[in-house]
Structure 1
Amino acid sequence: MVKHDLLGVGGIVNTEDLVSVFERQAEHYDSRWQKVAPVYLGLYFLLESVFSSLSVKARVLCVGVGTGKELLYLAAKFPGWRFTAVEPSLAMLDVCRRNAEAAGIAERCQFHHGFLDSLPEADNSYDAATCFLVSQFILNQQDRVAFFEQIARKLKLGAILATADLCADTESVQYDELLPMWCSFMSGARATTEQIDRTKDAYTRDVAVLSADKVTAIIAAGGFELPVPFFQSGLLQGWFTRRI
């Protein structure tokens, strides 16, 4: 779920650069981010309830699945569901596939290497979708709307989208207070001024950290109902919504 080194990412200028970051992290990714497990497990715990109305044979699209943590969690809770894992980093997708095989759920999964626009699956195919820490890397807001439009096209009418990204009003006093806490949490120790400054710079240059109002407006413009917030931990916020 944690898609990059939240303290050290830098110099990401295009999609290829971003994918290469994930390629380098893939093999040691899960162990590296075990320290933030309480956050993503809290998100998944609530996600289970968000998706509780889905049928026992639901099809779920996991966009930017990484090493497959949300997929593994949902597959264990809902043994009748089938999943399509979409991931542009082949190394990350390989880890996801191995994790699914180890969990005994690979036969319920389709693994697609590439971006969502290259997924051959027909439109209106899925009952739900997850998209965690993905859209924040789309810096242009119109491109971000188009990304959610791509997700919407793959979903049935009324299907549920659960999405989460880093989110804050970066011009507010609260952000200046929250960011040092977030940096300390991510590093496992009190963050230095240099770490805080580096993170703030990265979140300005490489990550579209926007206010909740802006993020939800982008999602809604992509073809969804106004999103409902269901999770927040530090700078990470999650919403659920339905395709209209």
Structure 2
Amino acid sequence: MNSEMAQVYETNARVSIPTYDALFGMVQSYFRAELSGEGASVLVIGAGGGNELSAWGPSNPEWTFTGVDISEEMLKIAQHKTNQLGLSNRVKLIHGTINDLPEDTAVYDAASCILVLHFIDNVQEKLDLLRTIHSHLKPGAPFVLVSAYGDRDSTELKDRLHVWGSFWLDAGRAPSKVNEMVNTGIMKISFLPEKQIEGLLQESGFTNITKFFVTGLFGGWICHAAGSNGVGIESEV
């Protein structure tokens, strides 16, 4: 495991999202409110780094986790945290995408996709990921999505980019470096307007879609997987 890489990742994440640790606590509270006291299986998309595992594993001994990530190096970090916390018997880590889950994998009681969607450029591929996540969830299961969002051409996003840059200035980054990060770094990720993200969730089969988190460039949504039996489907007004 590359400990230096892990440290850089942890530090940068907390600068980029000052409420980073609080976010995982909020998601845990949501899952706890939705899941029974019995054993619950949680699917973690983008598990590299292991922060979901370290945030939710120790305090929820009845939960099991399946984590998927395309970065082998980041999964090594997640495995190291899992071993340190004594969670190995409750965690399965898979190198690849959600499509690499075993074909006989049962559906899950809950799922998270935190800081992944904005790294997928193609809108259809975003939709495919969300649909596949939905297909691996039990009817009514809670799902949490956290992603960068915004209309690239809007003044609103430009204002939030200015605030995001200020996070890094306050963390000691030089103004020239921050400008470079904005112009050639963060703007390379795939931003979608909030309503379009919510539309993708709805099109993927999720319902009760509610925005619960905003910090800087990032937003979070909670929702439920609607089933073919109608579970979790809101009635039309």
Q: What range describes the TM-score normalised by the shorter chain of this pair?
A: 0.7 to 0.9
Q: Does 1:141 align with 2:123?
A: yes
| Cα-to-partner distance string for 1:156-206 (whole Å, 9 max, x where unaligned) | 1111111101112222222222212202213514763663364244444x3
Distance 2:126 2:14 in 1: 30
In structure 2, the residue matched to 1:227 is 209
| C-alpha contact (below 8 Å) 2:210/2:221 kept by paired residues | yes
Task: From the superposition, tell whether residues 212 and 226 of structure 1 become closer, same or farther in structure 2 (CA, over 3 Å).
Answer: farther
In structure 2, the residue matched to 1:41 is 21
Q: Does 1:32 align with 2:15?
A: no
Q: Which moved more, 1:28-37 or 1:120-129?
A: 28-37
Shift in Å at residue 126 of structure 1? Answer: 0.2
Query: Counterpart of 1:68 in structure 2: which amino acid?
Result: G
**Partner SS state of residue 181, structure 1:** helix
Distance 1:104 1:78 in 2: 13
In structure 1, the residue matched to 2:234 is none
| C-alpha contact (below 8 Å) 2:168/2:178 kept by paired residues | no
In structure 1, the residue matched to 2:158 is 176
Please report the RMSD computed on the Cα atoms of aligned residues, expressed in angstroms: 2.4
Task: From the superposition, tell whether residues 38 and 176 of structure 1 become closer, same or farther in structure 2 (CA, over 3 Å).
Answer: closer
Distance 1:121 1:105 in 2: 24
- Give structure 2 stretches of 5+ with no counterpart: 227-237
Shift in Å at residue 91 of structure 1? Answer: 1.0
Task: From the superposition, tell whether residues 34 and 145 of structure 1 become closer, same or farther in structure 2 (CA, over 3 Å).
Answer: closer
1:1-80 matches, cutoff 5 A: 26-33=5-12, 35-36=14-15, 38-52=18-32, 53-55=34-36, 56-80=38-62
Distance 1:115 1:169 in 2: 27
Query: Counterpart of 1:46 in structure 2: which amino acid?
Result: M
Shift in Å at residue 142 of structure 1? Answer: 1.2
Query: Counterpart of 2:159 in structure 1: which amino acid?
Result: E
Query: Counterpart of 2:23 in structure 1: which amino acid?
Result: L
Q: Does 1:195 align with 2:178?
A: yes
In structure 2, the residue matched to 1:186 is 168
- Give structure 1 stretches of 5+ with no counterpart: 1-22
Identity of aligned residues (%): 29
**Partner SS state of residue 208, structure 1:** coil
1:82-97 matches, cutoff 5 A: 82-97=64-79
Number of residue pairs matched by the alignment: 221
In structure 2, the residue matched to 1:237 is 219
Structure label with greater radius of gyration: 2
Distance 1:121 1:73 in 2: 28
